[in-house]
Amino acid sequence: MIREFAKADGSIDQLFGNHTSIVSSLSTSNPTQVEQFYLNTVRRNWFWANAVNALDPRLLATATSRGWQFDGIKRFATRASLSARMIVSALSTDSKQPVIAVVPSDRPGIHFNQDWDNMGQRQTDSSSVTFEQVLVRPDEILTSIYANDSPIASFLNVSKQLNHVNIYLDA
C-alpha cells in the first residue's frame, strides 16, 4: 500500500508508513496497554506520529511524584501537529536511559514549531516539537515485554526499513 500511495504523493506514503510502523511497534508493550491503544485507535480514529529521534538527546525526562516531566525539544516529528497520539522518547535525567511514552498530542506544554523546510515531501511537516513541563502519567510510559534484540523487535525494525524502501522506490 505504501508504494501505491507513493505513486500519487510521496508525503502520503510516508505519513501512512509512519502511522502503521508506530501502531505495529505498540504490540511490544504490555497487553493492557496494547489493548487500550488499539481499541482507541479504531474507535477514535487516532492518527499516530512520533517524536523519537534517537540522535536528538535534547528532550529530558525527570521523575516526579505524579509520573514524569518532559522538557526540551525533538526534531523531525513527522506530522505530529495533526496526530492524536505521539510516541515520544526522552532521556532520564537520573539514569540517562531512554524513557518512551505515549502522549496525547494536545497535552498542555507541547508546542509544534512549524519549522520544517518543506523541500521535497511537502506534506510531511516534519517540524520540531518543544515540550515545556509536559506531565507524562505512569500509565503512559511504554513498558516493553520484549528485549531489544528479540525476534519480534528485530522484525519491527526490518518492517520500518521496508516502509522506507517503498517510499523511496516510488517517491
> Residue 146 maps to which CATH number?
2.40.110.10
- For 65-84, the pLDDT digits (tens) are 999 999 999 887 777 888 89
Task: Please count the structural domains in the chain.
Answer: 1
Residues 168 and 24: their CA atoms lie apart, in Å, by 21
Q: Is the dihedral of CA 81, 107, 160, 113 positive or negative?
A: positive
From start to end of the chain, where are the E strands? Answer: 48-51, 60-64, 67-74, 85-92, 98-104, 110-112, 129-136
Place of cell 516510488: 170
Q: What is the pTM of this model?
A: 0.82
Distances in Å between the Cα of 168 and the Cα atoms of 6, 126, 150, 160 are 8, 17, 28, 13
Distances in Å between the Cα of 49 and the Cα atoms of 21, 32, 38, 135, 150 are 10, 21, 15, 18, 24
* 115 vs 39, more confident: 39
The lowest-confidence range among 35-39, 92-96, 119-123, 125-129 is 119-123
The lowest-confidence range among 12-16, 63-67, 102-106 is 12-16
Q: How confident is the model at residue 120 (pLDDT cuts 50, 70, 90)?
A: low
- The answer for residues whose C-beta is within 8 angstroms of residue 131's C-beta and 6 or more apart is 59, 70, 71, 72, 73, 74, 88, 90, 109, 110, 111
Residues 153 and 140: their CA atoms lie apart, in Å, by 20
Q: Identify the burial level of 23 via C-beta atoms within 10 angstroms of its C-beta, where 0-12 means exposed, 13-18 middle and 19 or more buried.
A: middle
Q: Residue 135 belongs to what domain range?
A: 2-170
